[in-house]
A and B are shown apart, each in its own frame.
Chain A
């Protein structure tokens, strides 16, 4: 019975998080919902990184870069490709059925003041008579996810012979190069100005007879929550399949796994592709939710945050990593409130990161498996030692014979 406790608690948590948007009525509803959506976003990153680093032992510091690949693919897709019922005569365009697929020219960050791109020039000419439509958001997320997988594949192949610190440095280099490239390619990516993205539900959405506007938090809440659940289900399925067994063997001893018939190359690349696709999907979805993506989202600090969330939760258990991400996101928000001690004002906007760093250091020192993972392990594996002792004491056991 005890070993089912984590599953039961997980089910209760699932019910609470599903019901929360309907039952919570506080004045800070949008703020709390935003925090949860952001927490789910980080939970996807932390849990997928946990599969990559904790299960497979591939200590990639480029995970946030793959998130950026997803976000920027979706942003570029939404920014540069449109559907028009009429040809612009100015842009590169292809007729598809009754519509025209319009590729907008890149003009950098001067679009609203000094110059117009070809589509806006055409729209100014058309007036209200022609309505162009952006590409579907779901297609942007799908493309972002696939592009993340492609980059994951390429990086996975490149790091095949790298281990430990070399792998970490290589992937860190990848993320930094990506950030620098995005910052430098101002004409295409608008550099530090970032790229605006349409909302997840730009025209709102009607669910169960209730219309939600583009600014309502409930639809994006369930989109991000749903994505998190899908990722966790995929990770759970993988972890309990031979894939999970092989990648853990890979983590423990790559040469020994290969000597036992495991195609280590395939599984090393596969784990990169799968987890980077998850990070990219999260990045694209978050981009649409926030409405803008900038190179700042790829800062090393963001990667450190994801690593810290996974480590504090428990890097060798993706559920623990996800829970750790949610808890840390809330804790960081809660710690924003400054307070006074004996006349001294503690500015928590600064000190919260110090507390956070302290928590990380204490976790690494005293609980290397994180704070959540040992609790899950207590319930899931607590019976093992008792069983071993009982079997050893049984008549006929090798210890007794001896």
Chain B
């Protein structure tokens, strides 16, 4: 049973208090949306969770193991994987090589033949098998996003954090990303999606976390969050500006 426990995370950059004691739990294969205006601390939270940034205080436990003081590669091996807001594929490596990196780092599948088979399966799922030997730099922006997702399928973590997976993606590729999210979730993994695309977030998520200036101001089912006055004021809009809520409802 997957269990991610985030307790009172705080992070300061100089005088900028970016995370002000964020706490939440993830139990089992939840599909969670993490939203908040620009500067809310979403990416910082992700960087703290994956070990890229050490928090000033607070703890993170994944399946009983404390991970907030670990290096990013140790966090990945402990079972937390992520994508980046700006795609970070290994551009001068082939698509297949991009997929082999996490597979070899995790030591699974056990042998090279199985690893190749799994990688080809991932590429077929992402409809990219014809591009397997191309360098990643030859791919479109959307395809590079898919490649990042493919790398996570090879890493096979318990908790997946997707940072802006839908940004700048063609609708057809968006369908593949939706299918990816559903597949990973059905495999029993927890997924945290960070996005500014409210339609996608509200239609996919079973639970929403809302960050505002480093505070977690809401945590609950999307319908409840949509009606939360603090969220409406901070993010979705005031009573005078009803655009955001009806759009979300229509998702």
Contacts and interface: CB of A to CB of B under 8 A. Distances in A.
B73 A248 contact: no
B76 A252 contact: no
Contacts of A261: 73, 76-77, 102, 105-106, 155
Given A255-B88, A260-B151, A249 B134 contact: no
B155 A252 contact: no
Which among A245, A246, A248, A397 has the highest number of chain B CB atoms within 10 Å?
A: A245
A128 interface: no
A381 B133 CA distance: 9
Nearest to B99: A260
Contact of A259 (B72, B133, B134, B172): B72
B133 A384 contact: yes
A402 interface: yes
Nearest to A243: B104
Size band of the B side of the interface?
35 or more
Interface in B119-136: 127-131, 133-134
B93 A249 contact: yes
A264 B131 CA distance: 27
A260 B153 CA distance: 11
B92 A248 contact: yes
Given A253-B88, A261-B102, A265-B71, 19 more contacts: A245-B93, A246-B101, A248-B90, A248-B92, A248-B93, A248-B97, A252-B93, A256-B90, A259-B72, A260-B151, A260-B155, A261-B106, A261-B155, A263-B71, A384-B133, A385-B134, A397-B130, A398-B130, A402-B172
B105 A259 contact: no
Given A260-B101, A264-B73, A253 B133 contact: no
Interface stretch (A98-106, A164-172, A386-394): A386-394
Interface of B: 50-52, 71-73, 76-77, 81-82, 84, 88-94, 97, 100-102, 104-106, 127-131, 133-134, 151, 155, 172
30 contacts: A248-B93, A249-B90, A252-B92, A253-B88, A253-B90, A255-B84, A256-B89, A257-B90, A258-B51, A258-B73, A258-B76, A259-B72, A259-B73, A259-B76, A260-B73, A260-B76, A260-B105, A261-B73, A261-B106, A265-B71, A316-B92, A384-B133, A384-B134, A387-B133, A388-B131, A388-B133, A388-B134, A392-B130, A398-B128, A399-B130
A398 B175 CA distance: 13
B163 to A, nearest CB: 11
Interface string A293-316: 000000000000000000000001
A255 B52 contact: yes
B104 A252 contact: no
Contacts of B134: 384-385, 388
B90 A259 contact: no
A262 interface: yes
Contact of B101 (A245, A385, A392, A402): A245
Interface string A369-393: 0000000000001001101100110
Nearest to B136: A252
A242 interface: yes
B81 to A, nearest CB: 7
B73 A398 contact: no
Contact of B73 (A263, A316, A399): A263
Given A245-B101, A388-B134, A258 B172 contact: no
Nearest to A244: B97
Contact of A391 (B51, B88, B100, B129): B129
A317 to B, nearest CB: 12
Contact of A255 (B72, B104, B131): B72
Contacts of A248: 90, 92-93, 97
Q: Is the interface of A mostly helix, strand, loop or mixed?
A: helix
Nearest to B72: A258
A258 B78 CA distance: 13
A148 to B, nearest CB: 27
Contacts of A262: 73, 101, 105
